[in-house]
Structure 1
Amino acid sequence: MTEESVFDRYRADVRRPMRRLFGAYGRPRYGWFALGVLANLLAQFASLVPPVVLGAAVNTLDGGRFSLPLVPNAWLPTGTTGAFELSVVLIGGSFLTTAAFTYLYGVAANEFAHGVMHAVRVDCFEKMGRLDMSFFDDKQTGEVMAILSSDTENLESFLDNALTNSVRLGTLLVGIGVVLVLENAYLAAVTLLVAPVMVGFTYWFMKRAEPLYAARRSSVGKLNTRLENAISGIELTKTTASEAHETERVRRSSKRLFEDTMAMLRLSYFYRPGMELLAGVSFTLTFLVGGYWLFVGPPPGASGTLGAGTLVTFLFLSQRFATPLAEVSNIIDQYENALASSERVFGLMDIPVGVTDRPDAVALTDVDGHVEYDEVSFAYDGEPGDDATGETVIDDVSFSAEPGETVALVGPTGAGKSTLLKLLLRMYDVTAGEIRIDGHDIRDVQMASLRSQIGYVGQETFLFDGTIADNIRYGDFDADHEAVVEAARAAEAHEFITNLPDGYETRVGERGVKLSGGQRQRIAIARVVLQDPQILVLDEATSAVDTETEYLIQRSLDALAADRTTFAIAHRLSTVKGADEILVLEDGQITERGSHADLLERDGLYAQLWSVQAGDLDSLPDEFRERVALSDD
């Protein structure tokens, strides 16, 4: 059973998402929407002119008068030649009018639909940027991307096509009905006899189709998740020879989608021919009763004569009932997709943001670099917005760092080292206690100013798909080329960059795949050098590189850390033995603190970890053997 995601939780609480969509995003663009609807109405009414005029012209061939609904006879010609000439003008004008208003409708409808989607897409991305890191800790990229891409496209398709097609459908049905009644009320009643059946059949189809569309949407989501997992884990699949297992899992998900899709299509293909059959019944009845009236005389309940042209008009217009009604299945499909997508969009919008600027937050400027952790505790929330907290990760931690000092954090996996430093950046907010910079509680300062004063180099370096120069100046976008080069020199990156074919203009590829791990790491260091922060956070920045590269990176890090307050999480203890203070974390608590020499003399966990890395395993007591596994949090 699939675990409920945060999207599912907040989406379930969204009420009237389509009305909310129009209220929040459609209202500023109602002018375009109204213009599109009006142009659509005029285009559809203009398209009804040719069969009416044609019928009136045909009536003159057997001596009848040229007559048009709602037009006084005094305005119309009496002779056949005049009627023909006016008919040509009216029919040609109607086609020109239809084309002009169809163009206007298309422009206006697309301005409305694409304008709404532009605003939705930007607002969704802006909201994602404000969400807490806890939201992204357990969210798959595909799930997040679906809102920005496929969900907004579903809404766009509905607003651009289904909504306007609904207006066109209604206009055609009402317009045809009005024209027929004005032409001949008795024959109109015959032609429209099956209209209630069509409406009832359409209502039945909508009720039956809704759960089928919902099932198909669910199957699409599950297949996409399965494919994303399979592709993301392709290396594990290959190294464990599990290709057949993954193929079978994809096959099952695809089969489910196939079955749900066919169930939906079977109903749709039953509906469309059914509507065409009912339209055919209407045509047949009209032809039968109209032909009888034309050749024999008025049928029971009718009186007067029926012109051949009038029958032609009825036959033309009766055929136009089927097409718009048959499109109901497409409209329902697009509506159901848009409904689900709008629920997801507003589900995202409604996710509460925990880490925010306080109304009276001030800018953090002229930082000296004095950092204090005062009885800090932290526990992850179960989900954003939960009142209850989960298991405690950091428990009553206190320490301080003076300007220019280096504080190192070491300890076994899961001790809370990375989390402790992410609290300094306000990636999360403390559950209890305070973190202060130069005496300011970091919750009282603006986050942008806080983070601009802290340089972060992590163990997993991310580069955007762009040039090396663009990635170095990321965060300081106005830096000139000379500053970029100086930052690269300080990061020991200039030499390898200049050896690349395009130097600083070399494109790094998605996530920097065209560069080695060490090269990416040195670019990340150059980025921080250019930022020139007063506080530096190094999260196992040399954990994934070879010894030679580690030496180069460590040399650049040492230069970067000079005269800055530095916090370093150590994978290899040799890289932090010169720190002013070393903190040993276990289960979210500081169990040892001191200099390298002090901690070795104390002969605690740090000393045991040092022995492991020095290769002196025989000296380890049994009680420490399960506590010395080193890796990131």
Structure 2
Amino acid sequence: MPYKGWVALAFVSVMTVAFLGPLRPKLVQLAIDRHIVVGDLEGLQRMVLWLVLVLLAEGGLAFVNSYLTQWIGQHAIYDLRTKVYRHIQRQPLRFFDRTPLGKLITRVTSDVESLSQVLSAGVVTILGDLFRLVFIGYFMFALNWRLALVTLVVMPVMLWATLWFKRKVREQYRETRVQVARLNAFLQEHITGMRIVQLFNREAEELRRFRRINDDHRQAHLKTIFYFALFWPAIDLIASTALGLVIWFGGVQAMTGTLTLGVLIAFIQYARQFFEPIRNLSDQFNTLQSAMAGAERIFDLLDRDEALPEPARPARLEKVRGRIEFRNVWFSYDPMPADGQEPNWVLRDVSFVAEPGQTVAIVGATGAGKTTIINLLLRFYEVQRGQVLVDGVDVRQMRLADLRRHIGLVLQDVFLFSGSVLRNITLDDPRIPRERVEEAVRLIGADAFIERLPARYDHDVRERGLSLSHGQRQLLSFVRALVYDPEILVLDEATSSVDTETEHVIQKALEQLLKGRTSLVIAHRLSTIQHADRILVMHRGQIREQGTHQELLALGGLYRKLYELQYREQEAPAPRRDQVDAA
């Protein structure tokens, strides 16, 4: 629709070409019957001149049409691919949890590309070929309606063959697209996880699995080729039969004197021209079937919009203080059962408050629900019951961009994009000056390793940051979170994968960074959270204990057990209860 004016222009040019093509045999017929037969040389020269002009006009318009339709198609493909990617970006994490990445890549790449030919030239060309058939039919019936009927006598057979081909190929293109998506999903997953495949010596088994998927793709494609191998010879045979009938009946009429030689020659040309757009339509039909299979999958993705709803009247916080409150929060990653049964709750009636400027640590065994609290605060997922509030405002009443603008997040599994160190810190945000980046780097202590890189801030970290160590990637993630100067800082196991020296550097920086910010810290190393204002101890989705480090040790519950398990192998054993009480 954005290019409807250009499409109209392309349609006019195609219509003109569709008329000029059938005009040529008519000019040949007039040249033979009116000038060659009677020996009119001057008239013949005029007809030849008209033929040359028609050919020049047809060639020039064909160039304009070809370039214009391709220009329209490429712009439309660009728009569609952008729309699909924008749609994917809007989806919540729950969508990515159950959708293989390989399938999404297939949608944005090969499925969109399958529409390229249709949007580039297909639709306009199909309309042009249809009108060309109309013009050819008009000229044929105007010349000799009997021979026109002889030419069209084979059309029922051709129509039946085309409908049969349509049904078979459409099904097969769907199956081929499914197999392409399976292939992409397998490759994406196993190339990303190649380290695990090699570590456990699974190369032979994974190769067998790949061969099975690859063979399914090959078989699906071969079936498509089989139907084409039947269809094209059938079309050629039908077209040749029609041409033979024209030559037979027209030749008999010409020998008896009821048909002129010019009309017979023109009809032979029309018979060939008539089946040329039909062949083109069959070819376009092939492209159309492929495009329809891809379009079904693209539109299925676009129709599945699971994006979190934005409030009609979003609440705006003029100045974020950083007060966080979880109020009777229940959450499950599974959808709510339709039969009214209770889902598998990950959080159960969780309530706590982090006052502005406080550091609240969250500890607990794996699966206790610690990371889920972060996901709900950032609204990666929607709570089923209860409320999550920032400065007293439910996060569901805030625009996602406004909410996340005030929160800095550092994860255990750091993701870096291919590109420079500077790009991975600023994410190409022009509002972040180089001076702020360098200041944050010094504050974190990342300047020591950045200065040693060959190109310093312009050093290419490569895909997923493979040119850096895990500790260096962790430091960059701290810098990336802090250059945005968030009011709320969230650390999810942020120091669990760094060495002791790097952890010491980070801890020293954090003492300054956490001042004046509300911080939620998830940690396995209890040494990193001993100075937190409050520690929440989670167990099976519930907050079982909360207090300061010393209060929780004195309580002698879950936290003390975690502390003793973590430090029992150290030379200095955990303090006894009476020692803690005395302290």
* Same fold (TM > 0.5): yes
One-letter code of the match for 2:521?
A
Contact between 1:216 and 1:257, CA under 8 Å: does it hold in 2?
yes
Q: Closer, same or farther in 2 for the Cα pair 1:462/1:233, shift >3 Å?
A: closer
Distance in 1 (CA, whole Å) between partners of 2:52 and 2:338 is 63
In structure 2, C-alpha distance between the alignment counterparts of 1:130 and 1:389, rounded to whole Å: 29
| Equivalent residues of 1:371, 1:436 under 8 A apart | yes
Matched, 1:157 2:117: yes
Partner of 1:75: none
Question: Over residues 455-489 of structure 1, what are the superposed CA-to-partner deviations in whole Å (9 max), with x where a residue is unaligned?
Answer: 11111222222221222223743222212111111
| Structure 1, 518-527 or 156-165: larger mean CA deviation | 156-165
Alpha-carbon spacing, 1:50–1:481, altered in 2? closer, same or farther (3 Å): same
Task: Identify the residue that residue 17 of structure 1 maps to in structure 2.
Answer: none
Kept in 2, the 8 Å contact 1:611–1:617? The answer is no
- In the alignment, what sits opposite 1:69? none
Cα 1:357–1:384, aligned 2, differ >3 Å: closer, same or farther? farther
Map of 1:87-236 to 2, 5 A cutoff? Answer: 87-236=47-196
Residues 580-608 of structure 1 show CA distances to partners (whole Å, capped at 9, x for unaligned) of: 11111111101111111122222222222
Q: Give the corresponding residue for 2:201.
A: 241
- Per the alignment, in what secondary structure is the counterpart of residue 532 of structure 2? coil
* Cα distance between partner residues in 2 of 1:464 and 1:194: 61
Note the C-alpha offset of 1:379.
1.7
Q: Quick check: 517-526 or 438-447, which moved more?
A: 438-447
Residue 297 of structure 1: which of 249, 253, 256 is its match? 256
CA distance in 2 between counterparts of 1:606 and 1:323 reads: 82
1:310 corresponds in structure 2 to: 263
CA separation in 2, counterparts of 1:603 and 1:165? Answer: 80
For 2:48, give the aligned amino acid: V
Letter of the 1:38 counterpart? V
1-structure distance, mates of 2:20, 2:340: 61
Give the conservation status (yes or no) of the 8 Å contact 1:353–1:384.
no
Within 5 Å, give how 1:238-277 maps onto structure 2. Answer: 238-277=198-237
| 1:111 CA drift (Å) | 4.2
Q: CA separation of 1:390/1:169 partners in 2, compared to 1, >3 Å: closer, same or farther?
A: farther
Q: Please give the alpha-carbon distance, in whole angstroms, between the structure 2 residues aligned to 1:528 and 1:223.
A: 36
Partner Cα distance (2:270, 2:22) in 1: 8
**Aligned equivalents of 2:565 and 2:156: distance in 1?**
84
Return the letter of the residue paired with 1:173. Answer: L
Following superposition of structure 1 onto structure 2, how do residues 420-439 of structure 1 map, counting pairs within 5 Å? Answer: 420-439=373-392
Identity of aligned residues (%): 35
**Which stretch of the first structure deviates more once superposed, 563-572 or 215-224?**
215-224
Give the letter for the 1:135 counterpart. F
Q: State how 1:269-288 maps to structure 2 within 5 Å.
A: 269-288=229-248
Matched residue, 2:16: 42
Cα contact 2:105–2:184 (8 A) shared by 1: no
Q: Distance in 2 between matches of 1:439 and 1:285?
A: 86
Amino acid of the structure 1 residue aligned with 2:487: Q
**In the alignment, what sits opposite 1:467?**
420
User: For residues 597 and 610 of structure 1, what CA distance do their matches in structure 2 show?
Assistant: 11
Which residue identity is paired with 1:44?
A
2:487 corresponds in structure 1 to 534
CA distance in 2, matches of 1:212, 1:513: 41
Question: Is this contact kept in 2: 1:491–1:553, CA < 8 A?
Answer: yes
Aligned to 1:351: 304
Q: Which amino acid aligns with 1:568?
A: V
**Distance in 1 between residues matched to 2:572 and 2:484, nearest whole Å:** 45
The aligned amino acid for 1:293 is Q
5+ unaligned residues in a row in structure 1: which ranges?
A: 1-25, 65-78, 299-303, 621-633
SS at match of 1:250: helix
Residue 511 (structure 1) aligned with residue 456 (structure 2):
no
For these two proteins, the number of residue pairs brought into alignment is 573
Name the structure 2 match of 1:374.
327
The 5 Å alignment of 1:17-32 reads 26=1, 28-32=2-6
Structure 2, unmatched stretches of 5+, are 574-583
Normalized against structure 2, the TM-score is what?
0.92
- SS of the aligned residue for 1:347 comes to helix
How far is the alpha carbon of 1:286 from its aligned partner?
Answer: 1.4
SS at match of 1:466: coil
Correspondence 1:407 to 2:366: no
Displacement of 1:284: 1.3
Counterpart position of 1:612: 565
- Map 1:436-447 to 2 at 5 A: 436-447=389-400
Q: Which amino acid aligns with 1:338?
A: A
Structure 2 equivalent of residue 58 of structure 1: 32
Which amino acid in the other structure matches residue 476 of structure 2? I
* The one of 538, 544, 547 aligned to 2:500: 547
Shift of 1:62: 5.3
Tell me if the contact between 1:354 and 1:385 (Cα under 8 Å) persists in the aligned partners: no
C-alpha distance 537-40 of structure 1, shift in aligned 2 (>3 A): same
> AA paired with 2:53?
G
Q: Give the 3-state SS of the residue equivalent to 2:361 in structure 1.
A: strand
Partner of 1:21: none
> Alpha-carbon deviation of 1:272?
0.6
Question: For residues 482-508 of structure 1, what are the alpha-carbon distances to aligned partners after superposition, in whole Å with 9 as ceiling and x for unaligned?
Answer: 121111111211222122121112222
Contact 2:35 2:43 in 1 (8 A): no
* Counterparts in 2 of 1:487 and 1:349: CA distance versus 1, 3 Å: same
Alignment partners' CA distance in 2, 1:561 and 1:432: 31
Q: Which moved more, 1:439-448 or 1:488-497?
A: 439-448
Residue 482 of structure 1 pairs with residue 435 of structure 2: yes
Q: Residue 384 and residue 391 in structure 1: after superposition, are their counterparts in 2 closer, same or farther (change >3 A)?
A: closer
Rounded to whole Å, the distance in 1 between the matches of 2:219 and 2:121 is: 27
Deviations 1:553-610 (A, max 9, x none): 3333333212211110002111111111111111110111111112222222222222
Q: Are the structure 2 counterparts of residues 316 and 222 from structure 1 closer, same or farther at C-alpha, using a change threshold of 3 Å?
A: same
Q: Distance in 2 between matches of 1:126 and 1:86?
A: 60
Q: Secondary structure at the match of 2:346?
A: strand
Distance, in Å, in 2 between the alignment partners of 1:384 and 1:448 is 31
* SS of aligned partner of 2:99: coil
Residue-by-residue CA offset, 1:345-388 (whole Å, 9 max, x unaligned): 33223334453321121222312222222212212243999998
Give the superposition deviation at 1:318: 1.5
Three-state SS of the structure 2 residue aligned to 1:324 is helix
Q: State the Cα distance separating 1:617 from its structure 2 match.
A: 9.8
On the 8 A contact 2:446/2:472 being kept in 1, the answer is: yes
Aligned-pair CA distance for 1:406: 0.8
The 3-state SS of whatever aligns with 2:333 is: strand
Match of 2:576 in 1: none
Alignment-derived partner of residue 33 in structure 1: 7
CA distance in 2, matches of 1:390, 1:354: 22
RMSD (CA atoms): 2.6
Would you say the 8 A contact 2:18–2:129 is kept in 1?
no
**Structure 2: which amino acid aligns with 1:326?**
R
**Superposed CA offset, 1:515-564 (max 9, x none):** 22221221221122211111110001112222222222333333321221
Q: Do the aligned residues in 2 keep the contact of 1:192 with 1:282 (CA within 8 Å)?
A: yes
Whether 1:563 aligns to 2:516 is yes
